[in-house]
């Protein structure tokens, strides 16, 4: 660790209260999703914070009142030195009426070494730590040779790909850190894709035709789409079991690759035979798989299931995959992310962790999903690394340990400095 960095790291202990205040400030902005469309004030705060520290800021509406913010601090020798994206989501999990919080979830409190409030762990702690690291570098007058990009995105909690929008807008870097909840582990992740499977009859029948449809001599070729959907569900369970037996990935318990029949909608009225049934599924897959591959596997299997049924064979189920928002078009994708432990960004991050905590960082996989997959899919080597643990994410009295938040801030200031002072490979 250079003398300059050593000095900054020491300052963080002295200025601990400022880090806590920054986190409290972020928590006070009420940004739960759902309902979403409430992040403008928080995002304006982040945009101003970055602007005041020399960043040029791009802020645009992804949805009304839900803007993304990307700040760019161009490096003094950007062509030759490593660039870095720091990414985090500003929205937090919803708070339902029945939740019994000690205090208002958006009035943060400090107690017994923790900060309590919605978003403390997921993930305003990570944002606060990274922003404070930026503040320290700025105040020390340190000019980074490599470029630093800070992305504060919206909609993560409802599968709205604020991060995908940043990628589509062309923001790239040599490495990205998603500062989402990881308990200071360096993590990759499996992927999630949701989909709708529809079984539809071309004809609509009265309830009174059921006898002709299902009994000998009835001679009516028709079916209840609800009953046919049970075959599809059974088929999905068989595939799920097959995956559990045949696939695995280090760090995941066997069978983590689940297919959840989450929502079913079907039938129009009790006086009809159900002529349409739709099933909403959530599929979890491993970091070394892609959603394109998963879609193919499911569709192929379900087509086989359908072809073994005389009616489904003539009325094949249809599929709609993914979506841009769980609340707008009822669908989402979180691409998977594999960590390359030999990538220089991962190594440098691990070294920064070691320098601050005097222990080796754990490199593993997140049991949940983050926006890291979108950055990875855009070809940016990416790691998840943030404070807070998942027991607290989305929980009542959500909290983050102050000690961990401070350690995190120290690691981030060290890593940003070191990575952006390293020549491009």
The label of the residue with tokens 């691409």 reads 335
Q: How far is the CB of 116 from Zn ion (least distance, A)?
A: 17
Closer by beta carbon to Zn ion, 180 or else 289: 180
Closer by beta carbon to Zn ion, 255 or else 367: 367
β-sheet bridge partners, residue 396: none
Closer by beta carbon to Zn ion, 89 or else 421: 89
β-sheet bridge partners, residue 265: 278
Q: How far is the CB of 151 from Zn ion (least distance, A)?
A: 14
Closer by beta carbon to Zn ion, 122 or else 289: 122
Contacts for 94-97: CB closer than 8 Å, 24+ residues apart: 94/32, 94/33, 94/34, 94/35, 94/157, 95/32
Output the CA–CA distances (angstroms, integers) from residue 302 to 234, 246, 296, 310, in the order listed.
10, 18, 10, 14
- Read off the tokens for 175: 């490495």
Closer by beta carbon to Zn ion, 180 or else 377: 180
Q: What count of residues does the chain have?
A: 425
Closer by beta carbon to Zn ion, 231 or else 394: 394
Q: Which of 39, 47, 133 is nearest to 92 (CA)?
A: 39
Closer by beta carbon to Zn ion, 122 or else 398: 122
State the catalytic residues: 91, 156
Q: How far is the CB of 123 from Zn ion (least distance, A)?
A: 4
Q: How far is the CB of 343 from Zn ion (least distance, A)?
A: 23
Which of 184-201 are b and which e, b meaning 16 or more Cβ less than 10 Å from the residue's Cβ? bbbbbbbbbbbbbbbbeb
Closer by beta carbon to Zn ion, 155 or else 222: 155
Q: How far is the CB of 244 from Zn ion (least distance, A)?
A: 27
Q: How far is the CB of 371 from Zn ion (least distance, A)?
A: 8
Q: How far is the CB of 184 from Zn ion (least distance, A)?
A: 15
Binding site for Zn ion (CB under 5 A): 122-123, 180
In this structure, how many other beta carbons lie within 10 angstroms of the beta carbon of residue 343?
16
β-sheet bridge partners, residue 295: none
Q: How far is the CB of 89 from Zn ion (least distance, A)?
A: 6
């Amino acid at each position: 660790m250079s003398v300059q960095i050593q000095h900054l790291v020491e300052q963080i202990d002295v200025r601990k209260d400022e880090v806590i205040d920054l986190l409290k400030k972020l928590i006070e902005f009420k940004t739960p999703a759902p309902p979403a469309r409430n992040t403008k004030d928080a995002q304006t705060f982040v945009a101003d914070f970055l602007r005041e520290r020399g960043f040029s800021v791009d802020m645009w509406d992804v949805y009304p009142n839900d803007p993304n913010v990307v700040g760019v601090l161009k490096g003094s020798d950007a062509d030759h030195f490593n660039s870095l994206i720091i990414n985090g989501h500003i929205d937090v999990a919803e708070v339902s009426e029945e939740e019994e919080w000690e205090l208002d979830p958006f009035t943060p409190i400090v107690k017994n070494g923790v900060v309590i409030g919605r978003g403390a762990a997921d993930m305003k702690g990570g944002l606060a730590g990274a922003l404070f690291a930026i503040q320290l570098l700025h105040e020390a007058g340190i000019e980074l040779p490599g470029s630093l990009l800070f992305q504060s995105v919206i909609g993560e909690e409802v599968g709205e790909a604020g991060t995908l929008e940043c990628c589509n807008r062309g923001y790239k870097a040599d490495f990205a850190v998603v500062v989402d909840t990881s308990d200071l582990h360096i993590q990759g992740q499996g992927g999630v894709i949701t989909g709708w499977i529809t079984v539809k009859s071309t004809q609509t029948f009265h309830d009174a035709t059921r006898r002709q449809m299902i009994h000998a001599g009835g001679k009516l070729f028709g079916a209840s789409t609800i009953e046919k959907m049970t075959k599809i569900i059974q088929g999905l369970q068989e595939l799920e079991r097959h995956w559990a037996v045949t696939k695995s990935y280090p760090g995941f318990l066997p069978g983590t690759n689940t297919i959840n029949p989450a929502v079913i909608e079907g039938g129009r009225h009790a006086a009809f035979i159900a002529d349409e049934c739709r099933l909403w599924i959530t599929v979890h897959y491993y970091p070394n798989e892609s959603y394109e591959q998963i879609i193919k596997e499911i569709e192929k299997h379900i087509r086989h299931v359908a072809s073994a049924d005389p009616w489904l064979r003539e009325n094949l189920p249809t599929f709609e995959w993914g979506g841009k928002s769980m609340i707008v078009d009822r669908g989402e994708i979180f691409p998977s992310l594999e960590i390359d432990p030999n990538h220089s960004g991962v190594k440098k991050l691990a070294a920064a962790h070691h320098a601050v905590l005097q222990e080796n960082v754990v490199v593993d996989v997140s049991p949940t999903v983050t926006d890291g997959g979108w950055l990875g899919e855009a070809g940016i080597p990416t790691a998840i690394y943030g404070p807070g643990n998942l027991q607290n994410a989305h929980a009542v009295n959500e909290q983050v340990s102050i000690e961990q938040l401070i350690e995190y801030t120290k690691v981030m200031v060290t890593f940003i400095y070191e990575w952006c002072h390293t020549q491009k490979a």
